[in-house]
Amino acid sequence: MPRTLYLVAYDVCEPKRLSRVGRYFHGYRVAGQKSVPEIWVTPGELDTIEQDMQQMLEPSEDRLQIIALDPRMRRSCLGQAKTFSAPFFCVT
């Protein structure tokens, strides 16, 4: 199943929820910054993520955006910022 690179941005108001969401995305993260990870996932994994986030987040307080990155676009990184650029990916 093909994988797509997504940028996830979240703003979680409560510290325990914030920590939990951060740990959750650490397992999918391939690059990015602390609360803006880049993840490379299949459509099925994306569905699971969206379902899990509906359970973890408080809709009246928290924000989450999952944005598909167009692989044809050139990414610009400054300083120590790096983006995911592996030609293949293997989950073991």
Would you state the pLDDT for residue 12? 93
Q: Domain-by-domain residue ranges, the chain?
A: 4-68
Residue 68, H or E segment? strand 63-68
64-74 burial, b at 16+ Cβ within 10 Å, e below that, comes to beeeebeeeee
Instruction: Tell me which CATH code domain 4-68 carries.
Output: 3.30.70.240
Per-residue pLDDT tens over the stretch 17-73: 999 999 999 888 887 777 788 898 999 999 999 999 999 999 999 999 999 987 666
Would you state the pLDDT for residue 92? 46
- H helices within the chain, ranges in order? 15-26, 43-56
User: Residue 2: pLDDT above 70?
Assistant: yes
Cα–Cα separations (whole angstroms), residue 90 to 8, 29, 30, 47: 21, 13, 12, 20
CA distance 77 to 91: 26
Would you state the pLDDT for residue 72? 67
User: Residue 75: pLDDT above 70?
Assistant: no
Prediction pTM value: 0.76
Q: Is residue 63 within 8 Å of 54, Cβ to Cβ?
A: no
Would you state the pLDDT for residue 61? 94
